[in-house]
Amino acid sequence: MSPRRPAVRSFAALLGLAACGASSVAAQQRDTVLLPPVVVTATRLPTAADKVTSSVTVITGDELRERGLATVADALRDVPGAAVVRQGSFGGVTSLFLRGGESRYVKVLVDGVPVNQPGGLYDFSSLTTDNVERIEVVRGPASVLYGSDAVAGVVQVFTRRGGTGTHLHAGGEGGSFGSARGSLGADGGSGGFGWSADLARHHSDGIYDFNDQYGNTVASGALHSSLGRRNDVSLTGRFADNHSHFPTDFSGVPSDSTQLTHERSITAGLDAGHQFGGSVVARLALASHDASGGYSTDRDQFDPQPSQRSDYTLSRRSADLRVIASPIAAVTLTAGSALELERDRRVTLGFTPGLDDTTEAPTLDPRHRHTTSGYVQALLQPVGALNVTVGGRLDHNSAFGTFRTWRTGAAYRFATGTRLRATAGTAFKAPSFEENFANSAFEVGNPALTPERATTWEAAIEQPLLRGRATVGATYFDQHFRDLIQFTNATPGQPNYRNVAGANAHGIELQLAAALPADLRVSAEHTWLATRVTDAGGSTDPGSVIAEGQHLIRRPAHSGRVGLRWLGLRRATLALDVNAVGAREDIDFAQFPSARVTLPAYATVDVAATADLVRRGPGRPSVTLTLRAENLFDKDYASVVGFRTPGRGIYAGAQVGY
């Protein structure tokens, strides 16, 4: 059977579901319309989603709270083309593979501030949804607007801005695996001023029998003010302090009762704008992200392996000045210039308990690099039904030199409501500091590395149904990754990292969203993905991560989700989500030599309910009870070979608002 057949059948199923909804809605004569959200990340301008030429998913804060989603990673599982992989228990390293790209190919922003490590890596395990207004996910190349790392897409988290009046809220939840979380916050505003502040704490005892505790403290806030008719300024900040104990070795076997990782990070951003006239606006964005943390294990003095500690500190600072002009209503031009500074320092310590001769072996000297950039973008609407995006960017990095990227797209809506969309572009990812500068007995960096690069195109069709109460869509995407950096064996003292590997990824994303009678909301997604290594560089081992002719690991060929939201009860909401992940390849490092294995497909069911015990009124607070179940049927599955995953989890909580 052709690999494309399942995707076709899934699309037919989506259309069938929509058709069923059509007859039901017609009978009920209900008129609920799905309105397109306004998105910012795709163009860096507030733009209606139906005018954007890229693939965009918006997850609202209300949906996050209705479903009890505590982390951004949990929310991203619903995004078409996204594979979220967590290594082990709560707090374990969590990676996002978007449309088959590497986990370091997604730019992650918090209120416009980049939080990736230099080189693109980002661990989603401790990025929580506390005080989040919405999450925007752009799929496809976005280096034209965001520079390095935005190869397969961009994930941006927006903090609540606050509204009219002053509101206080507090909540708590507890349940399986010794899990508990609580939060306390407030928001408010008046006129052109808004603010929010929130403090939250998360804890879990984990899923292993020992040394599996996880804790995370998060504080966040935002201020926004319109300074007269022509000026505005926003300040945002986020602080996180987390630690994760884990007993497993590299293959998932519990073997150490003292291992832990920890990180403390501070993210801050300022965005200010001034309107010079009716058609020209200047905006300045300043961003800062600092993180420090490390790994440690304090083994017994009779253990043959020594105790270890590794520490790191990294920082990113950036300034972005851009001018937006609309000389005529159908044209919006953006021209900008950016400067970014990156620093990274890592040190490894080895010592034997009970002895004083601690030895320090720096694996990476303090290093820094800077990037200067210039970019332009044009949003055009030559006719009312046609939207066009064209952009280009030039980056000059002190480590790898000059790199150029471009992106173009068009979308056209016919009188029938059918919308066709196509986008093409290029993107790049800068080498990590370790790949550039590592200097130890085990690895040597290569200062001559060039960025990894990608060329991508996609085409899509979207069709509204039921007089706007439902939408179905299909997107085909094709990505070519080149100059992938790979670790290779080399003569001692010679660089181990080289630009040698290549891979392709293409697939189809299918989507359905419908607003049915009785306040029932239905959403469904299915992704068919095919990946292939086209150049394994110096690797000939079929058990290696990059193997000639093999699939990229941990990316399922098929994945999907069906979600139901029932808002029709007078004081309650119900949510049900079914997430399905198809078979995918992984590497079993417990074997010697390591071997490629196939992880079986699985599906999990999550349910959540909220009930308003007391509704807010004059002088009266609101009280809401929550109950949810994750992996309701206790499905046994593997996300990473060798590592356990949580079974059924039941959680109950309450929220108070005033």
Judge whether 316 and 114 are in contact, CB under 8 Å: yes
Q: What percent of the chain has pLDDT over 90?
A: 74
Q: What pLDDT is stored for residue 227 in this prediction? A: 87
Residue 627: pLDDT band (50, 70, 90) is very high
Mean pLDDT, to the nearest integer, of 516-529?
Answer: 94
The full DSSP string for 285-323 is EEEEEEEEEEEEE---TTSSSPEEEEEEEEEEEEEEEEE
Q: Decide: pTM greater than 0.85.
A: yes
Q: What pLDDT is stored for residue 337 in this prediction? A: 98
At 450, is the secondary structure helix, strand, or coil? coil
Residue-wise pLDDT for 217-263, tens only, equals 999 999 999 988 899 999 999 999 999 999 999 899 999 999 999 99
Distance CA 143, CA 54 (A): 13
Whether the pLDDT of residue 53 is over 80: the answer is yes
b (16+ CB within 10 A) / e for 149-167: bbbbbbbbbbbbbbeeeeb
For residue 148, the 8-state DSSP code is T
Q: Classify 5-657 by CATH class.
A: mainly beta
Distance CA 506, CA 511 (A): 17
Q: What pLDDT is stored for residue 359 in this prediction? A: 46
- Residue 512 tokens read as 């359905």
For residue 118, the 8-state DSSP code is T
Q: What pLDDT is stored for residue 211 in this prediction? A: 96
210: exposed, middle or buried (Cβ count in 10 Å: 0-12, 13-18, 19+) = exposed
Residue 518: pLDDT band (50, 70, 90) is confident
Distance CA 381, CA 393 (A): 22
Whether the pLDDT of residue 353 is over 60: the answer is no
Mean pLDDT, to the nearest integer, of 503-524?
Answer: 95
Residue-wise pLDDT for 551-604, tens only, equals 999 999 999 999 999 988 888 999 999 999 999 999 998 888 889 999 999 999
Residues with Cβ within 8 Å of 203's Cβ and at least 6 positions away in sequence, in order, are 178, 179, 180, 181, 213, 214, 215, 216
For residue 546, the 8-state DSSP code is S
Distance CA 108, CA 95 (A): 12
Residue-wise pLDDT for 318-331, tens only, equals 999 999 999 999 99
Q: What pLDDT is stored for residue 364 in this prediction? A: 44
The full DSSP string for 401-436 is EEEEEEEEEEEEE-TTS-EEEEEEEEEEEPPPHHHH
Residue-wise pLDDT for 66-119, tens only, equals 899 999 999 999 999 999 999 999 999 999 999 999 999 999 999 999 999 999
Distance CA 107, CA 117 (A): 10
| Other beta carbons less than 10 A from residue 353's beta carbon | 12
| Other beta carbons less than 10 A from residue 103's beta carbon | 21
| Other beta carbons less than 10 A from residue 549's beta carbon | 9
Distance CA 345, CA 361 (A): 13
Domain range list for the chain: 5-657
Residues with Cβ within 8 Å of 12's Cβ and at least 6 positions away in sequence, in order, are none
Judge whether 561 and 59 are in contact, CB under 8 Å: no
Judge whether 546 and 533 are in contact, CB under 8 Å: yes
Distance CA 490, CA 497 (A): 9
Cα angle: 85, vertex 90, 94; to 5 degrees: 25
